[in-house]
């Protein structure tokens, strides 16, 4: 599906986690099965909106993410739709075994919100900058993972995760990020969206890197390069059909993610490309290193997660495409 996103010069900035918190309240009013759990991070994860409105369906678990994941499994076994919230570092890494055994092996309808994903978490430093979630979660059978790009998409992804039958991990960030979609932008669980057409290469991104990809497209257009931009918000289940179509139609792919390069979105796309229609690829990501403290903007610069990094990757992939 093509949405065609045009960026204004000055974009509105808003927190993805607020989209999550608002969606919980709205779904909660219609769906009595929704239960929200938190591990001592009510305001950070913005589940406090839900807690104020529906205290009888809200569970404070304290600082115990492994326990919280198991409790969610038990709630789901009884027909509830539990959505647990904590920082992504703890939701994915600390509770990985609980996700694997209590949740995924039983295929229970548990939703996991991993807030504070990516280097843009900033001053808290490496322990709190989750950048392994896509790799961990997509390697576990039955699990799905969604990485929305902005406030509105996080809202829609939250609604879609609750509607989806089966365990879902939802990854979003901490900071205000550019709003690139609107309340009516299409969103289908497991299906990528072509946000801008192009014919020379395809930039496939998720999360805040979708904005950077759209800016890179503008810069490339100024040099006569036509880049397609795909928002692949669901690394799993992967939209292989769209990926292979982009490989076939544009002949080159750049992926962009605020996540470790090993096993992330780029890895997932590469798996589809090599099996479906091999073309040159470049992966913009964090290259096998831990984060550090700093301002979000300077970290995005330092870790090579900007539009100019995508543009440089586009030049490299186009050179390889021409050299074939």
Query: Which residue out of 65, 132, 212, 258 is catalytically annotated?
Result: 65
Q: Nearer Cβ to other proteins, position 102 or 154?
A: 102
Distance (Å, rounded) from C-alpha 230 to C-alpha 3? Answer: 10
In angstroms, give the least distance from the CB of 105 to other proteins. Answer: 4
Is position 98 an interface residue for other proteins (rule: CB under 8 A)?
A: yes
Query: For other proteins, which stretch binds (CB under 8 A), given 93-101, 126-134, 200-208, 263-271?
Result: 93-101
Q: Is 65 a catalytic residue?
A: yes
Q: Which of residues 49-68 bind other proteins (CB under 8 A)?
A: 56-57, 59, 61-62, 64, 66-68
Distance (Å, rounded) from C-alpha 179 to C-alpha 151? Answer: 6
In angstroms, give the least distance from the CB of 69 to other proteins. Answer: 7
Distance (Å, rounded) from C-alpha 142 to C-alpha 9? Answer: 41
Interface with other proteins (CB under 8 A), residue from 4, 13, 55, 77: 77
Q: Nearer Cβ to other proteins, position 82 or 235?
A: 82
User: How many residues lie near other proteins (CB under 8 A)?
Assistant: 32
Q: Nearer Cβ to other proteins, position 106 or 262?
A: 106
The distance from CA 45 to its chain's CA centroid, rounded to whole angstroms, is: 15
166 by Cβ neighbours in 10 Å (0-12 / 13-18 / 19+) ranks as: middle
Interface with other proteins (CB under 8 A), residue from 5, 41, 75, 134: 75
Distance (Å, rounded) from C-alpha 17 to C-alpha 50? Answer: 13
Is position 80 an interface residue for other proteins (rule: CB under 8 A)?
A: yes
In angstroms, give the least distance from the CB of 160 to other proteins. Answer: 23
In angstroms, give the least distance from the CB of 59 to other proteins. Answer: 6
Give the residue from 57, 58, 46, 51 showing the smallest Cα distance to 19. 46
Interface with other proteins (CB under 8 A), residue from 82, 148, 251, 280: 82
In angstroms, give the least distance from the CB of 102 to other proteins. Answer: 5
Is position 262 an interface residue for other proteins (rule: CB under 8 A)?
A: no
Is position 269 an interface residue for other proteins (rule: CB under 8 A)?
A: no
First-to-last alpha carbon distance for the chain, in angstroms, is 30
Q: Nearer Cβ to other proteins, position 63 or 297?
A: 63
Strand order in the sheet with 168-171: 58-60, 34-38, 81-87, 111-115, 168-171, 144-146
In angstroms, give the least distance from the CB of 108 to other proteins. Answer: 7
- Tell how strand 144-146 and strand 168-171 pair up: parallel
Distance (Å, rounded) from C-alpha 51 to C-alpha 55? Answer: 5
Distance (Å, rounded) from C-alpha 106 to C-alpha 100? Answer: 9
Q: Is the peptide bond before 106 cis (omega within 30 degrees of 0)?
A: no
Do 259 and 285 touch, CB atoms closer than 8 A? Answer: yes
Give Dmax over CA atoms of the chain in angstroms: 63
Q: Nearer Cβ to other proteins, position 67 or 262?
A: 67
Is position 69 an interface residue for other proteins (rule: CB under 8 A)?
A: yes
Q: Residues in the site for other proteins, rule: CB under 8 A?
A: 35, 56-57, 59, 61-62, 64, 66-80, 82, 97-98, 100-102, 105-108
**Active-site residue set:** 65
């Amino acid at each position: 599906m093509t949405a065609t996103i045009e960026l204004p010069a000055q974009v509105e900035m808003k927190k993805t986690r607020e989209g999550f918190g608002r969606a919980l309240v709205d779904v909660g009013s219609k769906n009595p099965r929704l239960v929200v759990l938190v591990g001592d991070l009510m305001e950070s994860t913005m589940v406090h909106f839900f807690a104020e409105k529906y205290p009888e369906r809200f569970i404070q678990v304290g600082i115990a993410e492994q326990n919280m994941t198991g409790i969610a499994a038990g709630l789901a076994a009884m027909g509830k739709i539990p959505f647990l919230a904590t920082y992504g570092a703890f939701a994915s890494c600390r509770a990985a075994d609980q996700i694997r055994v209590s949740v995924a092996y039983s295929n229970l309808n548990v939703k996991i919100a991993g807030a504070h994903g990516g280097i843009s978490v900033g001053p808290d430093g490496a322990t709190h900058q989750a950048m392994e979630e896509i790799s961990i979660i997509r390697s576990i059978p039955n699990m799905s993972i969604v990485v929305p790009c902005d406030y509105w998409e996080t809202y829609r992804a939250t609604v879609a995760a609750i509607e989806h039958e089966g365990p879902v991990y939802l990854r979003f960030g901490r900071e205000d990020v550019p709003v690139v979609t609107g309340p009516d932008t299409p969103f289908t669980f497991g299906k990528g969206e072509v946000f801008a057409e192009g014919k020379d290469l395809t930039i496939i991104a998720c999360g805040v890197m979708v904005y950077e990809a759209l800016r890179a497209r503008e810069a490339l257009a100024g040099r006569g390069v036509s880049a397609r931009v795909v928002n692949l918000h669901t690394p799993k289940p992967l939209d292989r059909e769209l990926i292979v179509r982009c490989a076939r139609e544009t002949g080159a792919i750049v992926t962009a993610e605020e996540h470790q390069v090993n096993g992330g979105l780029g890895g997932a796309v590469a798996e589809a490309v090599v099996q479906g229609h091999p073309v040159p690829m470049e992966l913009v990501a964090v290259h096998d290193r831990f984060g550090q403290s700093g301002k979000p903007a300077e970290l995005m610069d330092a870790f090579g997660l900007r539009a100019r990094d995508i543009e440089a990757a586009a030049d490299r992939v186009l050179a390889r495409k021409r050299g074939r």
